[in-house]
Structure 1
């Protein structure tokens, strides 16, 4: 069990799977609107967080490739 770094309450482990990303309106520099070279970036990742329900905050976040999770 992982405890909240702020209040010591137990945290919830949550994971999500993402398989594509869309570039931001400012993909290369802040305050400069332009189109990225790709409309969609294909990349499979698993995102994990430890979330404190009491503080309503994310304590930790990480990204893994699906291959790391399967092994």
Structure 2
């Protein structure tokens, strides 16, 4: 049976850095590498909140992006 082996995770935080001429939000991405693949949603939310409190721009979205290896030997 095939299974996944976690390889790496990263955190993508989107912040609103302003608005364009039409009033639509202008977004920027902040990426943080080497996140523990086993990190819980609560832990990610806490980290995002802490980072957001240090930024001059509001956090709009947060994504945890996992990369897994397919193990077919199992």
Whether TM exceeds 0.5 here: the answer is: no
TM-score norm. by structure 1 comes to 0.28
More helix by share: 2
| Greater relative contact order, per chain length (Cα 8 Å cut-off, separation 6+) | 2
Query: More strand per residue: 1 or 2?
Result: 2
* TM-score with structure 2 setting the length: 0.27
